Structure 1
């Protein structure tokens, strides 16, 4: 009974603070303060200061603002135009033609950004006007961009994987490698859907663009060389074991500044804008992490996570039943919270039961990110939907309907990762094994 009262108090305070419009990080701190004051005799001030400092001073966490800054720098270059120019000649021969540029462009930008919203905005900036000009179906333009934009959360360097790794004390480099094949798989599933739709209704697709020779295609593809070089430098250095995630992030920032300089996009104004954008995003995430760490401590003192994990253990759920329950739980939670908040808010309770069930925590991180990706395209708090609404001026119901097939494809991706966990675990195992 005491644990039930405790749970209800935590939830009531949390929903009240979030409903009041208070920032997520401050709401988490408020819930933790309430729990510490009402249910423990510990010194609240000392515990809060120590916990927040420990959570925000992790060396592993230094990769976070650096990767964010790298994405901010590239967001202000002409990268969106280069992606379209370099990919269109090769993808135009597939059924569905230039709609594939949305998916491939998002996958490439995701590999140098780590942000879902930035991925949608960067690729959409060029792709939406070009695809509209060629009269592609509006629902397909928006739907494929909404779905493919979520790859920014999965394909490394993923910001949410860094947050997850710090929260559960897992290797960031291992998580990055684990995200590579699932990210490619999800991109191929999106492209497969475009092919099927184009074959079912070929009349909806506009005529092909003028054919280009092989040499012309190669010339157009040179625009992609800086992007590919940056991806190889960042991910290759991690996989080869010559750089940690933090060191690779430094390399990425230097590379992004170099690309921006060579393109003529690096000005004093763009440099300051990118730096301040990274500071704002990093500060927001740090506040959420600090609040979540203090909430985890408060719940630990009350014994809530341990007792809840024991209760769920007493239900004797099979591993598959637990995964299904967590999938439904995170999809519902994602309708009201952004992905990072959902992860850090729940890990104190979810981590013990997941470890007790015997799941590989790196595999679980990839599973969790795919599920959280779904939240990016589910109303009312689907950030990709908001970005697309601002870029297209469509009403939210239209955008949500257009993104619905992508949601179904992500459900299929979850099923595949659960059925074949090696999709996520093989590459990290190879990295650990070494040459």
Structure 2
């Protein structure tokens, strides 16, 4: 409930930085043989219907289909067991006790580098941050040489992959197996980063994802796929969100003031609202394993078994019937209905909701709070593009400069 003491929404004009073409209206629509779900209720229903809806990943590559699917592409009992087993790596207590000091130290190291140089590309700083934090959780800590952030960036930034597979990581692996450049990048990441970590944990298991996977009998190639999955779901998304959040906060003095003056709860509220407005993963693919009925307004849409669905997170997050008036403005104190989270569906929902949501917002907050405490200005305008393979925006050449 909004009271007289609640800070007012500081903006009254659309504030999205990441628009690509026209935004859609919430609804349900059949285009060709693919169903497009764009309302909050429809998207949430499908995300929670793990009994009749499956992940949309497909691939025809022989090697990939012989592997155990990565956790984000699993369903049913196998997925529930895996999620339960890895949940311990992402709890608020684990983040605070095991990772907070590391994140704080890493942030300070990056800030010192910025201060000494006088300026830096924020997309580079945020990539280094996100890779090192995620690598610590996954267990990629025994690389033969530095530069894992660059290797992952090169591996995931390539184009030419059909986004309709809905499986960027597996599609990238499939592509790498048939393209010399992709194979070289994949082999380099495996040889320099993944294999040394596996070898170290075979000798001495630790409390991390790779050790857990080895305990479940995963082979090296299956672990490589899992590492790429975490790179996509954790490292890349954190990098892009830090960029878009800094963009908002640097351009708007009022909301930056609220953020810097607020406690952790208030800061997280502001970051969640930015994430609602600018979801990094804009599209998810699903496939109906049984008939599904979606109701929207006065209409009932019957989706047959075998049909593919595109879940438009970006439009669902701006569904005025749920998030209230002016859904494209930045308003951290929205009066949301019970059950609707501040970031809406940006972390997903249901069985496949992002397990690292708390870690993600925590590391972003630690870094942004320290960064925005400096006197900064942007040099030029960041370059904004859209990665068709990952179905997410990318922010590059975001040069920030320290000034007196």
TM-score normalised by length of structure 1: 0.28
Higher relative contact order (CA 8 A, sep 6+): 2
Tell me which structure has the larger Cα radius of gyration: 1
Higher strand share: 2
Higher helix share: 1
TM-score normalised by length of structure 2: 0.29
